[in-house]
Amino acid sequence: MKPPSSPLLDEADLAPDTSGQPASARYGDVYASRAGALGQARAVYLQGCGLLDAPARWAGRDRFTVLETGFGLGVNFLATWAAWRADPSRCARLDYVSLELHPVRAADLLRHAPPELQPLAAELAAHWPPPVRGLHRIELGDARVHLLLAFGDATDLAPRLKLAADALYLDGFAPARNPALWTPELFRALARLTRPGARAASYTVAHAVQKGLSQAGFELALQPGWGGKQQRLQATFNPVWKRTRHTLPEPWPAALPRHAVVIGAGLAGAACAHALARSGWTVDVLEAGSHPARGGSAMPAGLAHLQPSADDNLLSRLTRAGMAALRRALPPDAADLAQFVPATLTPADAAEARRMQDWRRTVQLPPEMAQWTADGWQVDSAILANQAVCAAWLASPRISLRCGVQIARLQHDGASWNVLDAAGNSLARAPQIVLATALQTPHLLAASGLIPGPEWLPLHALRGQAQALPARFWPALRNLRQPWMGSGYVLRLPEAAVRQLQGADHADVETDWLLIGATFETGDQPLTPEQAWQHNRAGLSALTTSPPRPDHAGALRHFAGVRAASTDRLPYCGPLADLAPLRAEPQRAAGKQLHELPRLPGLAVCAGLGSRGLTLAPLLAETLVAGFEGHPLPLETDLADALDPARVALRRLRHGAAS
Ligand SMILES: Cc1cc2nc3c(=O)[nH]c(=O)nc-3n(C[C@H](O)[C@H](O)[C@H](O)COP(=O)(O)OP(=O)(O)OC[C@H]3O[C@@H](n4cnc5c(N)ncnc54)[C@H](O)[C@@H]3O)c2cc1C
Ligand SMILES: C[S@@+](CC[C@H](N)C(=O)[O-])C[C@H]1O[C@@H](n2cnc3c(N)ncnc32)[C@H](O)[C@@H]1O
């Protein structure tokens, strides 16, 4: 057994029962009716939730969301996906969210999938995530079927999901053997995620289940059972109380076009534009520089990586989700702009050395995510060619890019936002704006009168410098096989970054480059390029004490950029609080929770990515788009809250009220 906080979960302990049915030794129960898993899936769950009716409950709709307790061998999911595929009047998008504490292995999914569902099972198995606590998003069926696997204890996770379910499959093991999945507390948490009128279904009609569901607002209608059972449970969510604290995510209003203006074409803006375009939006990207990736993103390359910690803290969870989102966001043929190769993580100082030693005891992750080796910690990482990655994300017929335009202010005029330059000329308008303007974000908001001053979304500048050097000039690093991080870092540039260094005429014959970084400069006195190089070289002293060739200086290329960092070092990602009504009643406002704050319609920020833009940009972009669309949130709400830009406003309002 793992400790309760371990991100690595105990996997399912599948064993056939006496009749050869897949069963769990831990729970002493079979995964599905002995009369057949597929038959049960159809008769109990699909039928119970009205998905085999003509027309099915998803017919003609934009989207339909199923929420399940107990993913198990995925037969309910595969049967639902198959029924959806076979229905010409199916909804455009199917979301399926399933809670699972003991994931099975991919091979088990395949072994136990009913023969007619094998092709779907194979597609699922190819994307199957490791048994790690948290949310895992999988896009299937040409990205029209979205599976969100919530790995962990349902009681702990359900209150941290955000979604609006149209159907609820209750499929734990028998209540007597698996009581945790049938508690009134869990039913209440599920009810908070369920749309009024949604149907729920289960194979069990145990008295406690009926009672718990009725108390949570479900009207029961027991039906004749299946596979030897007298009855099955069917219910409709019809709460008599009004929803107060927990609002369901709303779909993008049908009256408004899916059109956004993204301001800023760095990693954050490019990732947001890409995620929006993938979701069917038309996107105008406006950028002050002459090209994308000119601001803080102007390094030739950088490293995205997972950050382990002893207690699996917020950053560890975010970087894990970030690496998964990065893989999803990159085009399939991305080898020249992204190389996924584990990075060696070594301590920057004595305190970190002690922490990393501790991790040997505390960090429990699959080896492909983090493992201790003779060379130190090896963590999941990717070297990315910044400009090529931004270009790939912006290369969509739905995205139009305008460079060389400086936005001065935003103005809301009823249904849409007007984007203005300093002379007051309108540069674009759209019902949705994403500000991905790094350090400029608070100033733009303040100039638009949307926050009283930049301190309501504080960002500070962390200047950084890095150098590229042809590998042959540093013989000791010439055979560097994987990125190395300590108090500095060194990595080998991917092909696309080398092409960019070579320039248009490819006059430079160097093909093998190292990138060595990076400084963190806070004061007014930036380091000179020479000082920065000395600093970055010194950062590699734990890797090699052997110097570069004496004639290396002429071959060095220097790069400088500015990172935008928030005070708590976490990005700002989400809609902004509408401060006018809050500041009018500060005492009331101070008593509110984040999710209760009113928001400015159609205005979101994605900024303050600090030194983790490559690791986090695609995750932030996915989270923003899920919020706009009202799709199931791909992050637990505690993580989303930690990124919410309104956290600063709330802190200030509370502080103001207290003083
Ligand atoms: C030396 C260095 C090394 C780094 N190494 C790594 C690394 O290894 N891994 C990693 O993950 N991260 C790294 N980073 C950090 C990473 O580069 C940033 O997190 C990332 O670039 C932030 O992206 P962004 O899009 O938020 O900001 P930016 O790239 O700064 O983009 C903001 C864009 O908005 C535009 N803009 C601003 N105001 C306006 C306006 N008013 N009108 C129009 N356009 C506007 C700007 O021109 C700019 O292009 C490094 C940073 C530096 C400086
Ligand atoms: C009957 S099986 C589900 C079968 C599945 N729906 C299918 O179609 O194959 C029950 C599942 O609930 C999971 N489970 C049990 N307790 C849980 C808990 N507290 N939180 C989340 N999942 C749990 C089990 O690991 C098991 O996979």
Q: Are residues 424 and 510 in the same domain?
A: no
3-state secondary structure of 409: strand
- Of 542, 560, 578, the residue at which a domain comes to its end is 560
Cα(369)–Cα(377) distance, integer angstroms: 10
User: Predicted confidence band at 65 (pLDDT cuts at 50, 70, 90)?
Assistant: very high
User: Predicted confidence band at 442 (pLDDT cuts at 50, 70, 90)?
Assistant: very high
Query: Which CATH number do you get for residue 482?
Result: 3.30.9.10
**pLDDT tens sequence across 163-190:** 999 999 999 999 999 999 999 999 999 9
Q: Which residues contact 635 (CB under 8 A, 6 or more apart)?
A: 135, 321, 619, 623, 643
Cα(145)–Cα(93) distance, integer angstroms: 6
pLDDT for position 108: 97
Q: Are residues 379 and 485 in the same domain?
A: yes
- Tell me, rounded to whole angstroms, the distance of Cα 130 from its chain centroid: 16
User: Predicted confidence band at 505 (pLDDT cuts at 50, 70, 90)?
Assistant: low
Q: Which residues contact 176 (CB under 8 A, 6 or more apart)?
A: 206
Q: Are residues 51 and 176 in the same domain?
A: yes
3-state secondary structure of 644: coil
Q: Which ligand is nearest to the CA of 382?
A: 1
H or E element, residue 615: helix 613-629
Nearest CA to ligand 2 atom 26: 72
Residue 99 sits at the vertex; the CA angle it makes with 97 and 101, to the nearest 5 degrees, is 155
Is residue 252 a part of any domain in this protein?
no
User: Predicted confidence band at 506 (pLDDT cuts at 50, 70, 90)?
Assistant: low
Nearest atom (ligand 1) to Cα of 559: 1
Q: Are residues 479 and 453 in the same domain?
A: no
Q: Are residues 278 and 367 in the same domain?
A: no
Nearest CA to ligand 2 atom 24: 70
pLDDT for position 524: 81
Cα(42)–Cα(48) distance, integer angstroms: 8
610-641 CB burial, b ≥16 within 10 A, e <16? bbbbbbbbbbbbbbbbbbbbbbbbbbbeebbb
**pLDDT tens sequence across 359-408:** 888 899 999 999 999 888 999 999 999 999 999 999 999 999 999 999 99
pLDDT for position 2: 56
Phi and psi (nearest 5°) for 603? -135, 120
Nearest atom (ligand 1) to Cα of 466: 1
Q: Which ligand is nearest to the CA of 485?
A: 1
Q: Are residues 482 and 601 in the same domain?
A: no
Structural domain including 229 reads 14-237
User: Predicted confidence band at 444 (pLDDT cuts at 50, 70, 90)?
Assistant: very high
Is residue 373 a part of any domain in this protein?
yes
**pLDDT tens sequence across 461-500:** 999 999 999 999 999 999 999 999 999 999 999 999 999 8
**pLDDT tens sequence across 289-330:** 999 999 899 999 999 999 999 999 999 999 999 999 999 999
Is residue 50 a part of any domain in this protein?
yes
Q: Are residues 205 and 218 in the same domain?
A: yes
User: Predicted confidence band at 19 (pLDDT cuts at 50, 70, 90)?
Assistant: confident
307-344 CB burial, b ≥16 within 10 A, e <16? bbbeebebbbbbbbbbbbbbebbbeeebeebbbbbbbb
Could you identify the residue written with the tokens 């637990």?
Answer: 636
Secondary-structure breakdown of the chain: helix, strand, coil percentages, each rounded to the nearest 5: 35, 25, 40
pLDDT for position 376: 85
Is residue 243 a part of any domain in this protein?
no
pLDDT for position 502: 84
Query: Which CATH number do you get for residue 615?
Result: 3.50.50.60
pLDDT for position 374: 85
Cα(486)–Cα(388) distance, integer angstroms: 26
Phi and psi (nearest 5°) for 34? -65, -15
Q: Are residues 283 and 351 in the same domain?
A: no
Structure tokens belonging to residue 286: 């406006």
Q: How far is the CA of 609 from the centre of ligand 1 (A)?
A: 8
Residue 388 sits at the vertex; the CA angle it makes with 382 and 391, to the nearest 5 degrees, is 125
pLDDT for position 46: 98
Residue 603 near ligand 1, beta carbon < 6 Å: no
Is residue 36's pLDDT more than 80?
Answer: yes
Q: Which ligand is nearest to the CA of 72?
A: 2
Q: Are residues 548 and 572 in the same domain?
A: no
Measured from the Cβ of residue 362, the count of other Cβ atoms closer than 10 Å reads 15
Nearest CA to ligand 1 atom 37: 437
Measured from the Cβ of residue 346, the count of other Cβ atoms closer than 10 Å reads 18
Contact predicate 604/628, CB 8 Å: yes
Structure tokens belonging to residue 324: 């998964």
Residue 515 near ligand 1, beta carbon < 6 Å: no
Residue 607 near ligand 1, beta carbon < 6 Å: yes
Q: How far is the CA of 298 from the centre of ligand 1 (A)?
A: 7
Nearest atom (ligand 2) to Cα of 12: 25
Nearest atom (ligand 1) to Cα of 616: 11
Number of domains in the chain: 3
- Tell me, rounded to whole angstroms, the distance of Cα 379 from its chain centroid: 19
Q: What is the DSSP string of 289-349?
A: SSSSS-STT-SS-EEEE----TT--HHHHHHHHHHHHHHHHS-TT-TTTEEE-PEEE--SS
Residue 374 DSSP symbol: T
Residue 207 DSSP symbol: H
Query: Which CATH number do you get for residue 140?
Result: 3.40.50.150
Residue 48 near ligand 1, beta carbon < 6 Å: no
- Of 509, 530, 560, the residue at which a domain comes to its end is 560
Q: Are strands 370-373 and 194-202 parallel, antiparallel or unpaired?
A: unpaired
Q: Which ligand is nearest to the CA of 560?
A: 1
Rounded to a whole number, what is the distance in angstroms from the first to the last CA of the chain? 48
Mutation to probe ligand 2, out of 71, 99, 209 (largest number of atoms < 8 A from CB): 71
pLDDT for position 3: 54
Is residue 216's pLDDT more than 70?
Answer: yes
Cα(164)–Cα(191) distance, integer angstroms: 10
Could you identify the residue written with the tokens 């382990």?
Answer: 308
Q: How far is the CA of 590 from the centre of ligand 2 (A)?
A: 41
Q: How far is the CA of 32 from the centre of ligand 2 (A)?
A: 10
- Of 528, 560, 592, the residue at which a domain comes to its end is 560
Distances in Å between the Cα of 357 and the Cα atoms of 188, 310, 351, 364 are 42, 10, 10, 13
**pLDDT tens sequence across 111-152:** 999 999 999 999 999 999 999 999 999 999 999 999 999 999
Average pLDDT, the chain: 95
Q: Which ligand is nearest to the CA of 304?
A: 1
pLDDT for position 659: 65
Is residue 266 a part of any domain in this protein?
yes
User: Predicted confidence band at 658 (pLDDT cuts at 50, 70, 90)?
Assistant: low
User: Predicted confidence band at 6 (pLDDT cuts at 50, 70, 90)?
Assistant: confident
Q: How would you class 605 by CB atoms within 10 Å of its CB: exposed for 0-12, middle for 13-18, buried for 19 or more?
A: buried
Cα(651)–Cα(640) distance, integer angstroms: 16
Mutation to probe ligand 1, out of 294, 611, 624 (largest number of atoms < 8 A from CB): 611
160-191 CB burial, b ≥16 within 10 A, e <16? bbbbbbbbbbbbbbbbeebeebbbeebbebbb
Q: How far is the CA of 23 from the centre of ligand 2 (A)?
A: 11
Is residue 253 a part of any domain in this protein?
no
- 447-456 long-range contacts (CB < 8 A, ≥24 apart) are 447/408, 447/409, 448/409, 448/410, 448/411, 450/410, 450/576, 450/579, 450/600, 450/603, 451/576, 451/579, 451/649, 452/579, 452/583, 455/652, 456/579, 456/648, 456/649, 456/652
Residue 220 sits at the vertex; the CA angle it makes with 216 and 225, to the nearest 5 degrees, is 130
Residue 263 near ligand 1, beta carbon < 6 Å: yes
pLDDT for position 509: 82
Average pLDDT over residues 411-417: 92
Structure tokens belonging to residue 392: 């790939």
Is residue 4's pLDDT more than 80?
Answer: no
Residue 431 near ligand 1, beta carbon < 6 Å: no
Q: Are residues 343 and 276 in the same domain?
A: no
Mutation to probe ligand 1, out of 521, 614, 615, 616 (largest number of atoms < 8 A from CB): 614
Contact predicate 375/347, CB 8 Å: no
Q: Are residues 479 and 331 in the same domain?
A: yes
What is the reported pTM?
Answer: 0.97
Q: In one letter, which amino acid is 91?
A: C
Q: Which ligand is nearest to the CA of 517?
A: 1
Ligand 2 shell residues, CB under 6 Å: 12, 31-32, 70-76, 99-102, 153-154, 171-173, 178, 180-181
Q: Are residues 508 and 371 in the same domain?
A: yes
Is residue 454 a part of any domain in this protein?
yes
Is residue 275 a part of any domain in this protein?
yes
